[in-house]
């Protein structure tokens, strides 16, 4: 369709980056044209790299007065035609919630990187946490569908940032990179490929910018193209006219915004599986915790234990079918998380088997031995 | 000769939502007249508004690109659009509550950065849309839904505020001064950098009613009686100027 292959901005080869730096490079590779942000630990290095590198690429960088202004300005820039992004952490992510729902309602492609730190509130600013998983899904009023991705390595901070831009533009929806302090401050070698694939926003002169299109995702014009756009987050018709009393228009719009994502979830959702074929107990993990989990699973396999692992790369939309099928085959699933069972609760909604939630919210990553210990008790 | 502004209106839009006697309807006309006199192509314009009655002036009525945003955040949205595509001519039109209360921080920062935006703030001293609660621009003593014993606090002087923050052009006029206001809007549109006009735009329904101003005419008179030009205000004491609305241009440097 509108996929374009192009040369990556960095010369191909290996680089030694932190997660934050890799996400910044991913954004540059994806041709991010506008970035606005407000400093917050542990995400700030991402913005520092953007500020320095955008001077070379000619893209626009703005340090705004707060996170409200940051996210609103990237939405404005997106409608002016930019691939647009911001990055933050818990407190800032909370401030952005109203505008995330604005972007959902107006079908504005934006990318938000959330480097999670342990909360509630200011919590421990330099320590990792996983407490924003549900906020990413339900953080603002109204039923709302977003796409959220959980990277587990510095390589994925680069690759998944590019993917986040492509998904945002493809589905006209905010995409959240739900990372955390441990990945953002980790330094690893990554490989930058010669070529990457970019999704170019679909345009169609005169077509309704909020219509159903062929697949529920309308084409997206930009300001300044003579389309006389009407953009509003009040309930609107397919040409953007406000209809704030019409139950049919409201029901139709809310339903399309939901199903344009949910009906495409098999295309969107990515995951990995390890040793699940004959496993009796399966770990379901994501982000940094999946690294510890994989270590534990591999060790226990060497000892002949029937244990496997699923790594959720996509958090939202949720991999409900995967979990339902898996739960029908195994005795138990074990869900280690740096929050109090946020995804375990979601897994319980679908898995027809025992779901054991393991929580650690002390600001430290979960040690592989901790996971081994827990699994040994279940086997 | 009155300008026919219908050519700039989106005719498929529903009838305008403004109450009888609302100042915003006059303001709408004056903005379009200024655009007509400058012969600006509406395809080059982007109108950004927040939430409130005044935010409905451009959206959906202006036949151009319009971005109706969140309460208080219009200037932040406008900043992103303008900086990514500097060719867009961006005008923000919103209420006093929107721009000066909940959005006050974005207002002063856009003025400080001197972003090339024109901001038109319709001041009716209240939150018209939500039932007439007090705004930060309300004169001392006025009755509103939330100041039933009279407003206790002082109003913001928005022109001083944006000037202190670094705006290139700031002015205050009332919709009852159409000629002055049109030429001020034209100046603002031609200003490179941040330009700001506070427009006194009376609200008979929410403000007038509560202050025992029985008709739109009474509400207009209430505001007109407070107006005093910058020149006439010179030399008057702060006591004499309390509760007066000073009109004119208050730009940094020029005029
Ligand atoms: C975050 C948020 N808080 C509150 C509201 C409710 N609200 C809508 S308009 C408005 C005040 C509008 O006042 P003003 O900007 O002066 O506009 P007017 O209606 O007077 O023209 C408020 C409080 C909202 N929409 N969003
Ligand atoms: Mg008002």
| CA B214 to each of CA B41, B208, B209: distance values in angstroms, whole numbers, following the listed order | 41, 7, 6
Q: Which pLDDT band holds residue A159 (cuts at 50, 70, 90)?
A: very high
Q: Which of A76, A102, A234 sits opposite B80 (nearest CB)?
A: A76
Q: Average of pLDDT values for A192-201?
A: 94
Q: What is the average pLDDT value for chain A, to the nearest integer? A: 96
Task: Give the chain B residue whose CA is nearest to the CA of A59.
Answer: B84
Give the mutation candidate from B16, B40, B81 for the A interface (greatest A CB count, under 10 A): B81
Q: What is the pLDDT of residues B173-193, one digit of tens each?
A: 999 999 999 999 999 999 999
Residues carrying CATH 3.40.50.970, chain A: 3-199
- Ligand 1, atom 10, residue with closest C-alpha: B52
Rounded average pLDDT over A28-33: 97
Backbone dihedral angles phi then psi of residue A178, each to the nearest 5 degrees:
-90, 85
Interface of B with A in 26-45 (CB under 8 A): 42-44
3-state secondary structure B64-77: CEEEECCCCCHHHH
Give the CATH number of domain A271-378.
3.40.50.920
Q: If you count them, how many residues does chain B have? A: 255
Asked if residue B162 lies in contact with residue B194, where contact means CB atoms within 8 angstroms, the answer is: yes
Name the band, by pLDDT with cuts 50, 70 and 90, for residue A2.
low
Pocket of ligand 1 (CB under 6 A): B 51-54, 71, 94-98, 122, 124, 126-130, 135
CATH 3.40.50.920 intervals, chain A: 271-378
Mean per-residue pLDDT, B123-141: 98
Strand order in the sheet with A281-285: A271-274, A307-312, A281-285, A332-337, A354-359
Residue B97 DSSP symbol: I
pTM as predicted: 0.97
- Please determine, for residue B254, whether its predicted confidence score (pLDDT) is greater than 60: no
Residue B253 above 60 pLDDT?
no
CA–CA distances in Å: residue A317 to residues A147, A150, A289, A324, A340: 6, 12, 20, 15, 20
Does domain A3-199 fall under CATH 3.10.20.30? My reply is no
Of the pLDDT bands very low, low, confident and very high (cuts 50, 70, 90), residue B252 is low
The string of DSSP codes covering B232-251 is: HHTT--HHHHTT-EEEEE--
Q: Answer whether residue A234 shows pLDDT above 50.
A: yes
- Environment class of residue A79 by beta-carbon count within 10 Å: exposed (0-12), middle (13-18) or buried (19+)? buried
Average per-residue pLDDT in chain B? 96
Q: Would you say the ipTM is above 0.90?
A: yes
Which parts of chain B fold into alpha helices (H)?
Answer: 23-37, 74-84, 96, 104-113, 158-165, 178-190, 209-210, 216-224, 230-233, 238-241
Is the confidence at residue B35, as pLDDT, over 90?
A: yes
Domains of chain B: 5-252 (3.40.50.970)
| Nearest-CB residue to B43 (from A84, A226, A231) | A226
Give CA–CA dist B229/B235, Å, rounded: 12
């Amino acid at each position: 369709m509108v996929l374009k292959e192009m040369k990556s901005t960095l010369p191909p080869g290996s680089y030694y980056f932190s997660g934050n730096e890799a996400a910044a490079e991913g954004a540059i590779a994806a041709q991010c044209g506008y970035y606005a942000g407000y400093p917050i630990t542990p995400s700030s290095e991402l913005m520092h790299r953007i500020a320095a590198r955008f001077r070379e690429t000619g893209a626009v960088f703005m340090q705004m007065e707060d996170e409200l202004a940051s996210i609103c300005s990237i939405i404005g820039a997106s409608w002016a035609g930019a691939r647009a992004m911001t990055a933050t952490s818990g407190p800032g992510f909370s401030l952005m919630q109203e505008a995330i729902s604005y972007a959902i309602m107006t079908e504005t492609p934006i990318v938000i990187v959330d480097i999670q730190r342990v909360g509630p509130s200011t919590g421990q600013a330099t320590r990792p946490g996983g407490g924003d998983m549900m906020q990413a899904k339900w953080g603002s009023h109204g039923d709302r569908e977003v796409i959220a991705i959980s990277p587990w390595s510095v390589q994925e901070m680069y690759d998944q940032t590019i993917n986040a831009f492509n998904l945002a533009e493809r589905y006209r929806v905010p995409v959240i990179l739900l990372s955390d302090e441990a990945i953002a401050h980790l330094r690893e070698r990554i490989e930058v490929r010669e070529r990457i694939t970019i999704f170019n926003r679909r345009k169609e002169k005169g077509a309704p910018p909020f219509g159903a299109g062929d697949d529920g995702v309308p084409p997206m014009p930009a300001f300044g193209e003579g389309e006389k756009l009407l953009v509003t987050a009040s309930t609107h018709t397919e040409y953007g006219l406000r209809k704030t009393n019409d139950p049919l228009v409201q029901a139709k719009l809310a339903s399309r915004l939901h199903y344009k994502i949910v009906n495409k979830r098999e295309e969107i959702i990515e995951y990995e599986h390890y040793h699940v074929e004959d496993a009796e107990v399966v770990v379901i993990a994501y982000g940094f915790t999946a690294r510890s989990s994989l270590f534990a699973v591999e060790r226990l396999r060497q000892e002949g234990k029937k244990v496997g692992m699923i790594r959720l790369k996509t958090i939202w939309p949720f991999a409900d079918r995967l979990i339902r099928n898996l739960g029908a085959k195994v005795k138990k699933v074990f869900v280690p998380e740096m929050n109090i069972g946020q995804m375990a609760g979601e897994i319980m909604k679908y898995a027809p088997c025992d779901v054991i939630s393991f929580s650690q919210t002390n600001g430290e990553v979960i040690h592989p031995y901790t996971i081994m210990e827990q699994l040994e008790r279940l086997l | 000769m009155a300008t026919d502004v219908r050519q700039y209106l989106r005719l498929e839009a529903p009838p305008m939502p403004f109450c009888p006697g609302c100042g915003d309807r006059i303001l709408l006309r004056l903005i379009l007249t200024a655009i007509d006199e400058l012969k600006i192509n509406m395809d080059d314009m982007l109108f950004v508004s927040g939430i409130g009655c005044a935010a409905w002036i451009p959206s959906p009525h202006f036949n151009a690109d319009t971005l109706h945003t969140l309460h208080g955040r219009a200037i932040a949205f406008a900043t992103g659009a303008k900086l990514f595509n500097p060719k867009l001519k961006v005008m923000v039109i919103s209420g006093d509550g929107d721009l000066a209360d909940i959005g006050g921080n974005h207002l002063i920062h856009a003025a400080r950065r001197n972003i090339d935006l024109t901001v038109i703030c319709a001041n009716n001293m209240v939150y018209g849309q939500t039932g007439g609660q007090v705004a930060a621009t309300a004169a001392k003593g006025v009755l509103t839904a939330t100041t039933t014993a009279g407003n206790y606090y002082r109003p913001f002087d928005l022109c001083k505020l944006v000037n202190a923050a670094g705006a290139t052009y700031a002015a205050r006029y009332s919709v009852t001064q159409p000629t002055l206001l049109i030429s001020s809007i034209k100046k603002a549109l031609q200003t490179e950098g941040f330009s700001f006009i506070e427009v006194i735009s009376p609200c008979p329904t929410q403000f007038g009613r509560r202050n025992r101003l029985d008709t739109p005419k009474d509400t207009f008179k209430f505001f007109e009686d407070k107006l005093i030009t910058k020149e006439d205000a010179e030399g008057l004491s702060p006591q004499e100027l309390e509760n007066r609305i000073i009109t004119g241009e208050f730009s940094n440097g020029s005029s």
